[in-house]
Structure 1
Amino acid sequence: MTTVYVADTGVFVRCGGPEKDKFQRLRRAVRQAGISLRIPQRVYEELGGDTAAEEYPSGDVPYSAGIRSGWIVVADELDYTNPLVSTVMDETRRFIASETDRDEDRIEKADTALVGLAGQLLDAGEADRVVLLTTDKPAGRAAVTLLPNHGFEDCLDFRYVSEAVLETITADEFR
C-alpha cells in the first residue's frame, strides 16, 4: 500500500525556520520514517517558491533546504482537465465557504489545491492512501467529506497539525 503525505503551508509556518526545534523535529521524523511531504504547487508559491507569484506573508519560511534534501517534494501541477480534480476543487471551495461563512472567492486556492492533489494522487493510482497534514480544519474536513463521494472511501486521513503535535512529533506518526 502506497501512502502519500500531503502538507499545507500552515505546517511549515508553525514550525518556524530551520533553527527552530519544531522544524528540526518534523524534518527528523519524516527522514527517519523514510517518507517525504508532498506539497501542491500553490503551497510552494505560498512558501515563496515562485518569485513571479503574488507575495504571501509566509514567503520567508525556509523550505528550500527541505526540497533539496528530498523530505519536501513539490508535486506536479494539478491536471485541471481531469474532471475529478476540477470538481473536487470546486466542491472544496463551496464546502469551506459554507463552513466558514465566507464568500467562495475569498477561499485560499492552496486550500482547494490540497484536496485536488489528494484526489489526483488517488485517481491516478499514485497513492492508495493520502494523509493530509494541515492546520486548516475546514480544508481537512472538506477532504474527508468530499473524496468519499467520488469513490475514495477510507483512502484519506486528515491530521490536524497543532503546536503540540509539532513539539512531540516522531517517525512513529508516519508509520
Structure 2
Amino acid sequence: MTTAYIVDTGVFVRCGGPDNEKFQRLRRAVRQAGVILLVPQRVYEELGGDPTAEDYPSADIPYQAGFDEGWTVVAPALDYTNPKVSTVMDEARRFIANATDRNEDIIEKADTALIGLAAQLLDTGQADHIVLLTTDKPAGKAAETLLAQRGYGDQIEYRYASVGYLESITASEFR
C-alpha cells in the first residue's frame, strides 16, 4: 500500500521554526519513518516559499529546512481538468463555508487544494491511502466526507495536528 502524507500550512506554523522542539520532533519522526510530506503549491505559497506568488509573496521561508532536506516536497500541480479534482475542490469550498458560517469566496484556496490533491493522488493511483495532517478541522472533515462520497472512505484519514500531537509525534505515526 502506498500512503501519501499531505500536510497543511497550520502544521508547520504550529511546529514553529526549525529550532523549535515540535519542528524537530516532526522532522525526526518523518525521517525515521522514511516518508515524505507533500504540500500542495498553495500551501508552499502560504508558507512563503514562492517569492512570485501573488497572495503570499516571500522568499524568507522559516520551514525551508524540510524542503532542502527532502522530507517535505511540493506536490505535483493539481490537474484542474480532472473533474474529480475540480469538483471535489468546489464542494470542499462549500463544505468549509457552511461549517464555518463564512462566505465561499473567502475560503482559503490552500484548504481546497489539500482535498484536491488527495482526490488526484487516489484517482490516478499514485496513492492507495491518504493521511491528511492539518490544524483545520473543517478542512479535515471536508476531506473525509467528500472523498468518502466518491468511494475513498477507507482510503482517507484525517489527523488533527494539535499541539499535544506535535509534542509527542514519533515515527510510529507514519508506519
Classify the TM-score, shorter chain: over 0.9
Aligned-partner residue type, residue 90 of structure 1: D
Aligned-partner Cα distance in 2 for 1:156–1:70: 24
**Structure 1: 5+ residue stretches without partners:** none
Matched, 1:74 2:62: no
In structure 2, the CA distance between the partners of 1:59 and 1:149, relative to structure 1 (3 Å rule), is farther
Other-structure match for 1:5 = 5
| Identity value in percent | 71
Matched, 1:112 2:112: yes
* Contact 1:5–1:133 (8 Å) recurs in 2: yes
Aligned-partner Cα distance in 2 for 1:89–1:150: 13
**Could you say what secondary structure the match of 1:29 adopts?**
helix
Matched, 1:135 2:135: yes
| 77-86 or 142-151: bigger deviation | 142-151
State the Cα distance separating 1:151 from its structure 2 match: 2.1
State the Cα distance separating 1:49 from its structure 2 match: 1.1
* Contact 1:48–1:60 (8 Å) recurs in 2: yes
- So what's the TM-score if we normalise by structure 1? 0.96
Other-structure match for 2:33 = 33
Deviation digits for residues 81-108 of structure 1 (CA, Å, limit 9, x no counterpart): 0000000000000000001000000100
- So what's the TM-score if we normalise by structure 2? 0.96
* Contact 1:12–1:61 (8 Å) recurs in 2: no
Number of residues of Structure 1 aligned to a counterpart in Structure 2: 175
Deviation digits for residues 131-165 of structure 1 (CA, Å, limit 9, x no counterpart): 00000000000000001111212000000000111
Deviation digits for residues 4-52 of structure 1 (CA, Å, limit 9, x no counterpart): 1000000000011111000000000000011010000000000111111
Other-structure match for 2:168 = 168
Other-structure match for 1:43 = 43
**Could you say what secondary structure the match of 1:154 adopts?**
helix
Aligned-partner residue type, residue 172 of structure 1: S
**Could you say what secondary structure the match of 1:5 adopts?**
strand
RMSD: 1.5
Matched, 1:22 2:13: no
Other-structure match for 1:86 = 86
State the Cα distance separating 1:59 from its structure 2 match: 7.8
Aligned-partner Cα distance in 1 for 2:26–2:138: 23
In structure 2, the CA distance between the partners of 1:49 and 1:166, relative to structure 1 (3 Å rule), is same
* Contact 1:46–1:59 (8 Å) recurs in 2: no
* Contact 2:26–2:166 (8 Å) recurs in 1: yes
Deviation digits for residues 65-88 of structure 1 (CA, Å, limit 9, x no counterpart): 211211001001100000000000
In structure 2, the CA distance between the partners of 1:14 and 1:58, relative to structure 1 (3 Å rule), is farther
Task: Write out the 4+ residue segments of structure 1 that deviate beyond 6 Å after TM superposition.
Answer: none
